[in-house]
A and B are shown apart, each in its own frame.
Chain A
Amino acid sequence: AQRVTQPEKLLSVFKGAPVELKCNYSYSGSPELFWYVQYSRQRLQLLLRHISRESIKGFTADLNKGETSFHLKKPFAQEEDSAMYYCALSAHNFNKFYFGSGTKLNVKP
């Protein structure tokens, strides 16, 4: 069965520090992996997807099939990055999306 695991409920870093939000998955096929973000009082929105291989707001994520991981990284955190981050997996040709439990990132000034 498919599963997305985010081991950290809360991650606190100082502004300018590097940040890494962990995500591991289990899926028997070839998954599509995503990171979604929810800023305070806003709806959930897509941050990035692995097939795009792009950097959004300074964030990057690399799919490591050997370790079944899709960690989200940013070299220098900003206060405006404070939000809930959800890792998600799409299965069966986008027929379903499964979400991790989320990590709350708190960037301190």
Chain B
Amino acid sequence: SAVISQKPSRDICQRGTSLTIQCQVDSQVTMMFWYRQQPGQSLTLIATANQGSEATYESGFVIDKFPISRPNLTFSTLTVSNMSPEDSSIYLCSGLQRNTGELFFGEGSRLTVL
């Protein structure tokens, strides 16, 4: 199984600040994705993190608000910028395992914005 670790696991932030979430995967992973899971709701795909180039964002998500980096194959970051209480959510890093096409998830980062 692919190994995905994510940090921080949780944080409480003030309105207007930014938070960067880090995700480390092992070499079995090819594609990496970032999801948001708001309370009581499903997982919403934010973007696909592309190695060495700009992420591919889904409708409703923009780079200015959610800048994403993937400088190498096994590491990615998601920044939630200029946070508001509406950004309170669980942010999930996921990776697609090479060969099997199985999607693995990190434990999630629970963000609370006051």
Measuring CB to CB, which residues of chain A are less than 8 angstroms from any residue of chain B?
32, 34, 36, 43-46, 49, 86, 88, 90, 94-102
Tell me, in angstroms, the Cα distance from A100 to B44 when the chains sit together: 9
Known A86-B42, A86-B43, A102-B42; judge A97-B106 contact (CB<8 A): no
Residues of B within 8 Å of A88, CB to CB, are 103
Among B57-114, those with CB < 8 Å from A are 92, 94, 96, 101-108
A99 in contact with B102 given A43-B108, A94-B31 (CB within 8 Å)? no
Chain B contributes a number of interface residues (CB within 8 A of A) equal to 19
Q: Which residues of A contact B35 (CB under 8 A)?
A: 99
Given A43-B108, A44-B92, A94-B31, is A101 in contact with B41 using a C-beta cutoff of 8 Å? yes
